[in-house]
Chain A
């Protein structure tokens, strides 16, 4: 007996999605999105599908689809799932010749599998659905010389492995405001078209998991805190990331129509994958909607992810990533533990403001790069990798970059306070630390006490550097830069809810001065927060909170008021008030019940 106070209204799988509160507006939003995308001229499977579903520009759309079908420049994995998704949705209205051409593309064109987690999800989703669509065909009928049955089994096996990995130790490309779309879009395509009810259910569960994972770190359309990888534009301006459009569609936030806001348009204009969500029969469970939008009570959420596959220079393939997020209605402060967790595009920590203004974030980093870092994750030689990344991703070796992992950066967060320790080796190419401070902050002042006080709306940030720094004015931001190899910053975040007036917040901090002790290779920072908690943090050493060590080994897969999961259990429990939804990935079951009030 689980609990006499709990009434189990458990129905395996068959619980209908109940977004009663949001359903009407969701319907409006999804219709609007389909209409808008149907009116676009971007050459993509998504615009084509929207046009043909709505009957808009039909002839043009057919021509576009025809040209896409034969366009070899679309990478295999991007082609694979999007093409089959369009085909399955549109096949009743496509001319036979075009349908034959689309079938033929899976016989003749290159379907490159790629080398990242998102590539494989897209590739195997496409392969699975294509093999399902054209079953019982021999090896000569497929681009890879495998039969329908062989392709189906391989894709099914890998997708099930990915579901299992993602629900037990987490994604390697986790919580990315950009790459989120490369997971959720194929998963929803799989959900929509998989004939096997178990695969369909697992896809539904995976969609739930992806959205719940987002929801708990979501604030007004922003995917907050640390994440595995993203582009600088989206790190500086979080609402420009594609995840914001998904947030708008499913969470109803941000509160404005994203596509009409020109300031958010430039880079991802044309990334209309979201329309596959709008056309999907998947409905977000209300509990996830509630988790994403109820910010009435601040909370701490922790979770465990995994480092992307380490193939060299490591003893462990997927060491854990420990993520900590403090969420309020005005801001979120979130962080990863630091170190190299993902090559090239890591974003280790930030403060995100709930604001309609762009550039609603503050963060710091050490702009690290090395061939060895790349060679941990890619098989080519170190020197070649450095040259190659510099060649195609100039930003990687740029001293001014805004995304980076670094072995010389570590964090210790407790609620709305974070300590970020930097201990940079001599001889490193970029021996400085950078901080992003948007120019459109309502206030930014340097206090005689040493604190830098910032305000955006109702959110207050206090930033303290233990060692000297300078300011560099740039187009949209002030760049805080410190050339000290050993430094620590202390960041305290608050809001009018917690602190009252900004001046009160300042006064609470002016008398506090963090102390950096120890030297050599392992500096130690000690600091007592404005809440009275004592934090002591040694680089490569313990993190002590009020004298007690923080033990990462005790981190759950998810742990917070809304999401809970033991590591490696494969069972994820969502809780919102008296609603509970449980995903059991091993059993491929979904349960929902309500606790008695």
Chain B
């Protein structure tokens, strides 16, 4: 019954074109590389950070033109943080100018996450562990106590309890309850975890995507984890995104399988890849002001955009580009 209700709400939203958030958001797209960039072609010769203020319809490049960018997001104060080849970059003028906040100690940064309440605090997930700043990137401290091996590819800050963190590592998912001072392995043991997301409708629920071992979920603040029901167990999961308006609607980006969608909180899944010419989906974002619009960043296939909740996709931009990260504020 619940499942039916969720689906009904979702379909109603699609049919009526309900605009649930009036305020226009900014979307940040990080392009790691591009074949056309390599070949010096002219249609998308640049990589790095692109920004859209029209729900992903059009994009403007900001900042460095030849930087391998993994992920970017903005904090409460509007400052943009970017995880890229040179470390963690931060811009306080909308991406016009940037400062590399990190030195040589911090490299191979895959994600940077800004504290939901404190815009000067951020965590960087790197090949050498988690690093934390509390002063806008002026200084960084290593936060690896408890990890067996330091490699981390994602970190999530609990939006309700900012001292609670989850980290994606090659050995599973770790949790810290004291701002990263100590980490404990809590799930997906011996599985390579690549991505973590917190459910916007249920703060106790977290999802993780793994390399080769599918999707896992915790519904108790990251204490216990179980494989997601009926989701293909062998898939590599790169990205997880939620419909911010309708509970239970979530999207998953996979290697080779394109996008999977669940309308019932992860109980059942349907592959939604019609129109995707590249099925390696590394990043996803649902546009808050119109959740029918979903963006999917692929590896070497550029950015795709759906205006019907993922049922059909259309190529958007970044031909043959690697759209490594998407975020929205």
Q: Could you mark each residue 121-154 of chain B with 1 if its beta carbon is under 8 Å from any beta carbon of chain A, else 0?
A: 0000011100000000000000000000101010
Asked if B236 and A383 make an inter-chain contact with CB atoms under 8 angstroms apart, the answer reads yes
- Tell me the minimal C-beta distance from A183 to chain B in angstroms: 17
Among A315, A381, A391, contact of B238 (Cβ-Cβ < 8 Å): A381
Stretch at the interface among A137-145, A457-465, A503-511: A137-145
- The total of interchain contacts (Cβ-Cβ below 8 angstroms) comes to 87
Taking residues whose C-beta sits less than 8 angstroms from the other chain, chain B's interface range is 35 or more
Q: Given known contacts A144-B86, A154-B104, A379-B127, is B194 in contact with A312 (CB within 8 Å)?
A: no
Chain A CB within 8 A of B182 CB: no
Among B85, B104, B151, B300, contact of A114 (Cβ-Cβ < 8 Å): B85
- Tell me the minimal C-beta distance from A66 to chain B in angstroms: 19
CA distance A112 to B107 in the complex (A): 12
Asked if B194 and A144 make an inter-chain contact with CB atoms under 8 angstroms apart, the answer reads no
Chain B CB within 8 A of A157 CB: yes
Q: Given known contacts A110-B67, A387-B299, is B99 in contact with A381 (CB within 8 Å)?
A: no
Residues of B within 8 A of A120 (CB): 104
Residues of A within 8 A of B40 (CB): 73
Residues of B within 8 A of A594 (CB): none
Q: Could you mark each residue 293-313 of chain B with 1 if its beta carbon is under 8 Å from any beta carbon of chain A, else 0?
A: 000000110000000000000
Chain A CB within 8 A of B186 CB: no
Residues of B within 8 A of A391 (CB): 35, 300
Chain A CB within 8 A of B98 CB: yes
- Tell me the minimal C-beta distance from A374 to chain B in angstroms: 13
Q: Could you mark each residue 241-268 of chain B with 1 if its beta carbon is under 8 Å from any beta carbon of chain A, else 0?
A: 0000000000000011000000000000
* Prevailing SS type, chain B contact patch: loop
Asked if A115 and B128 make an inter-chain contact with CB atoms under 8 angstroms apart, the answer reads no
Chain A CB within 8 A of B315 CB: no
Asked if B108 and A115 make an inter-chain contact with CB atoms under 8 angstroms apart, the answer reads yes
- CB contacts under 8 Å to B, within A146-162, are 146, 154, 157-158, 161
Q: Could you mark each residue 162-192 of chain B with 1 if its beta carbon is under 8 Å from any beta carbon of chain A, else 0?
A: 0000000010000000000000000000001
- Tell me the minimal C-beta distance from A253 to chain B in angstroms: 37
Residues of A within 8 A of B110 (CB): 379
Asked if B108 and A387 make an inter-chain contact with CB atoms under 8 angstroms apart, the answer reads no
Q: Could you mark each residue 45-82 of chain A with 1 if its beta carbon is under 8 Å from any beta carbon of chain B, else 0?
A: 00000000000000000000000000011011000000
Chain B CB within 8 A of A370 CB: no
Asked if B211 and A383 make an inter-chain contact with CB atoms under 8 angstroms apart, the answer reads yes
- CB contacts under 8 Å to B, within A105-131, are 110-115, 120, 124
Q: Nearest chain-A residue to B153 (Cβ)?
A: A379
Q: Given known contacts A144-B98, A158-B104, is B65 in contact with A72 (CB within 8 Å)?
A: yes
Contacts A/B (CB < 8 Å), 15 sampled: A73-B40, A73-B66, A110-B66, A112-B67, A113-B85, A114-B85, A115-B107, A145-B100, A146-B99, A311-B108, A311-B128, A313-B170, A383-B211, A384-B282, A391-B35
User: Which B residues are closer than 8 A to A by beta carbons?
Assistant: 35, 38, 40, 48, 64-68, 85-87, 97-100, 103-104, 107-108, 110, 126-128, 149, 151, 153, 170, 192, 194, 211-212, 236, 238, 255-256, 280, 282, 299-300
Nearest first, the 10 closest Cβ-Cβ pairs linking A and B are A145-B99, A311-B127, A110-B66, A158-B104, A110-B64, A144-B100, A379-B108, A379-B127, A113-B86, A312-B151
User: Which A residues are closer than 8 A to B by beta carbons?
Assistant: 72-73, 75-76, 110-115, 120, 124, 139-140, 143-146, 154, 157-158, 161, 311-313, 315, 379, 381-384, 387-388, 391-392
